[in-house]
Amino acid sequence: MTIEQARARDAADPLRHLRDRFVLPEGVIYLDGNSLGALPRATIDAGRDMIEHQWGERLIRSWTEGWMASPARIGGKIARWIGAAPEEVIAADSVSVNLFKFIVAALRHDPARRVVLSEAGNFPTDLHIAEGAVACVPGASLRVVERDALGDALDGDVALLLLSHVHYKTAERFDMGAWTRRAHYAGALVCWDLSHSVGAIPVDLAAAGADCAVGCGYKFLNGGPGAPAFLYVAHRHQAAWGNPLSGWMGHAEPFAFADAYAPGAGMERWRSGTPSMLAMGALEAALDAMADVDPAALEAKSAALFDMFAEAGDALGLECIVPRKADARGSHIAFRHPQAEAVMRQLIAQGVIGDFRTPDVLRFGLTPAYTGFEDIARATQMLGALLAPADCTAGPASV
């Protein structure tokens, strides 16, 4: 596809106007929104209001004027992205910390089951936290197997199946409904990590019958570096499950200053300590900036961006490691290449920002809200120019 053809596709893109809602620096093609989402313009004013007005002028009064309620309010705004009811979601802490809460909670919930099952090659923190969490629960252990062995490993000892909905490297997507049913049939609970899906592809936790989920605020939700993460617990489990990090902010009455812990109602109990309000404010502004956007429209655009990139990758002779079927993947594309690290370094030097992932993966995030077809055309042209001298099978750049 020529640059002119790509421009014509951008002009016809019904989501094109969303790009103006983001700060995208001149001379940069940003294909890393799955690691750190771009800055929404609205966040700049919201941040100023948060600092100058809410903190600077209202001071401690802001806690009762909106801050205390903000984790649940923000959770309610995330709910539409994940097929949850507003009161099933709360913003708090990081994905890592929230994973710890759910792993320990699930092990305590059914003392007859002692195993946490996850996938080899899952995002490192998911496995690291699971390792640390099972060490805190007597008799518990972590079982990590390859994806094709998960079914056999899902036996009567498994308390919790812990899976990332979309894989951070290969973008492979689990069939959430099918795997949730499988886990339930085996008597296990499922925790879905939505970090690489929320905000880019539709997620329907209710339809899947999911038990609990966590997700990231700073990737496709554009909440800012280190944005608060979120937790989801299905209504049916909310009364029975407890947060092992039972801090005062999750107490039924934090300002009663009681010695004994009493869990808050609903999702409130999943809070631990005082939330970072500057970060909460940035996340909320980012969610508000996307409040009118239909997740299904984002998925369609993501698929079109992917197809264009994949076609160019094929022409360059690159080995794509992402499933071609749209409903079997997330919203990035990745290729295996022996010089992946050097290639990505050069691309970044030329203003095309993607990621290198060990040992040999070139990864490009496709953020449907602000990535354009011209971005893909230009990025793949530059990629082709970089690869051409070393790889004579690919021929000249063909985009």
Ligand X SMILES: *Cc1c(COP(=O)(O)O)cnc(C)c1O
Nearer to ligand X, 95 or 303 (CB): 95
Tell me the closest approach of the beta carbon of residue 41 to ligand X, in angstroms. 24
CA–CA gap between residue 30 and residue 326 (Å, rounded): 22
Which of 96, 141, 276, 350 lies at the binding interface for ligand X (CB under 6 A)? 96
One-letter amino acid for residue 54 of the chain: Q
Distance, CA of 47 to chain centre: 22
Catalytic residues: 123, 193, 218-219, 363
**Which of 193/284 has CB closer to ligand X?**
193
Element (H, E) at 190: strand 189-193
* Residues contacting ligand X: total by CB under 6 A: 13
Nearer to ligand X, 250 or 365 (CB): 365
Which ranges constitute the DSSP H helices of the chain? 3-12, 41-48, 70-82, 95-109, 124-134, 150-153, 176-185, 205-208, 235-238, 277-289, 295-315, 340-349, 373-387
Least distance between ligand X and beta carbon 27 (Å): 27
Assess 126 for contact with ligand X (CB under 6 A).
Answer: yes
Q: How far is the CB of 311 from ligand X (least distance, A)?
A: 27
Residue with smaller CB distance to ligand X, 38 or 95:
95
Q: Is 164 in the site for ligand X (CB under 6 A)?
A: yes
* Cβ density class 245-276: b for 16+ within 10 Å, e for less: bbbbbbbeebeeeeeeeebbebbbbbbbeebe
Give the residue, chosen from 22, 30, 102, 123, that forms a contact with ligand X under the rule CB under 6 A.
Answer: 123
In sign, the C-alpha dihedral spanning 95, 201, 14, 325 is positive
The contacts of residue 92 (CB under 8 Å, 6+ apart) are 71, 98, 228, 229, 230, 231, 270, 271, 272, 275
CA distance 92 to 100: 13
> What backbone torsions phi and psi does residue 215 show, to the nearest 5 degrees?
-165, 165
* Shortest CB 126 distance to ligand X, Å: 5
Among 5, 125, 276, 339, interactor with ligand X by CB under 6 A: 125
The residue (of 100 and 370) whose beta carbon lies closer to ligand X is 100
Query: Applying CB under 6 A, does 211 fall inside the site for ligand X?
Result: no
Checking DSSP bridges between strand 29-30 and strand 355-357, what pairing results, if any?
A: unpaired
Residues numbered 215-274 forming contacts with ligand X, rule: CB under 6 A: 216, 229
**CB distance 285 to 47 below 8 Å:** yes
Binding mask 14-53 for ligand X (x = CB under 6 A): ----------------------------------------
Contact assessment for residue 220 and residue 199, using Cβ atoms and an 8 Å cutoff: yes
Which of these segments, 67-75, 179-187, 193-201, 343-351, binds ligand X (CB under 6 A)? 193-201
Q: Of these, 168, 174, 306, 364, which contacts ligand X (CB under 6 A)? A: 168
Smaller CB distance to ligand X: residue 99 or 267?
99
The residue ranges that bind ligand X (CB under 6 A) are 94-96, 123, 125-126, 164, 168, 193, 195-196, 216, 229
